[in-house]
Amino acid sequence: MKTIVTGGAGFIGSHLVDKLLNLKHDVTVLDNFSTGRPDNLSHIKDKIKLINCDISKKDKWISEFEGVDWVFHVAALADIVPSIQNPEGYFNANVLGTLNIAEVCKKNKIKRIIYLASASCYGIPDEYPTTEKAKIKLEYPYALTKLLGEQIMLHWSNVYNLPVTSLRLFNVYGTRSRTSGTYGAVFGVFLAQKLAGTAFTVVGDGNQTRDFTYVSDVIRAIICAAKSNKIGEIYNVGSNESVSVNRIVKLLGAEKIAYIPKRPGEPDKSLAGINKIKKELNWEPKIKIEEGIKELLKNIDYWKNAPVWNPESINKATKDWFKYLSKK
């Protein structure tokens, strides 16, 4: 089976590449390393084909799709503040890049395409658990660009019979997560702070809860979707529980905590409604938060060179967040 993973050097993408190799796929990775890390693939670099390219620009990478069976479109810019500061860059990567992938998949008659969407499209939800039918409430440009990417893929599925399934991911965490970005960021931040012996920076009072989903569960969901015959469908991927940030801090063994101001545009809770994916794809999460955090702590050295955030650097980095998202 010939497979392409866009964004395969990133957090989720590199775990997906590992799984596909275990399934004996012939894997090509497309990545421009804007957020991905070569180190995430160093243990398998001789087993894959790695193309350094920018999918927002039509170039030689297009020829890699000839004869490919499955495509997993994981590549995206995934930070909130940079999307506010540089919406054009986010549109190029997440919208134009997705359009280019859709077009090259159409041209090469790709048999299966999985698009990784974001639960950020739900904004501050009106319902919990939040189902796929929940109202779309976009709070910042990142959320908009990921939704537009999803709409492109599903529209191409509807019009051109592109065999697409979209997965809306909730708060993915695990080894190789970054210290910035939508996925896994809070854990990366805390683990870098733990290694440095500095205070854990907790937003608000820490009572806000999130649907933290371990990356191995997400990878299983992706593979389940790829093997299914469900075309043109959207599925939430979550853990079936919502855990407070204070509980995360306790499980990570924080000795010092610094509370920082609550951010506008962020929900007090996230909880995925996953009945649809359970019923139609026979998938459900397996990793409880305690088990996932044990795995992170076993691999804590991954974050030894990560930036160590403090209240002052976070305040500076999130200045535009408060400037543009605070309700007038």
Q: Which helix (H) or strand (E) holds 209?
A: strand 209-210
Compute CA 7 distance to the chain's CA centroid, rounded to the nearest angstrom. Answer: 10
Mean pLDDT over each residue of the chain, to the nearest integer: 96
The CA-CA-CA angle for residues 94, 99, 100, to 5°, reads 105
What pLDDT score does 183 carry?
A: 56
Give catalytic status of residue 128 as yes or no: no
DSSP structural state of residue 121:
G
pLDDT tier at 178, thresholds 50, 70, 90: confident
Query: Which domains does the chain possess?
Result: 2-171+214-237 (3.40.50.720), 174-211+239-269+286-325 (3.90.25.10)
Contact indicator for 281, 136 with CB cutoff of 8 Å:
no
What pLDDT score does 210 carry?
A: 97
Compute the average pLDDT of residues 143-148: 98
Compute the average pLDDT of residues 125-152: 97
> What pLDDT digit, counting tens, does each position of 284-319 carry?
999 999 999 999 999 999 999 999 999 999 999 999
Quote the pTM value.
Answer: 0.97
- Which of 115, 142, 173, 183 is catalytic? The answer is 142
Confidence check: pLDDT of 328 > 70: no
Give the percent of the chain with pLDDT over 70: 98
What whole-number distance in Å separates Cα of residue 291 and Cα of residue 278?
21
What whole-number distance in Å separates Cα of residue 33 and Cα of residue 142?
18
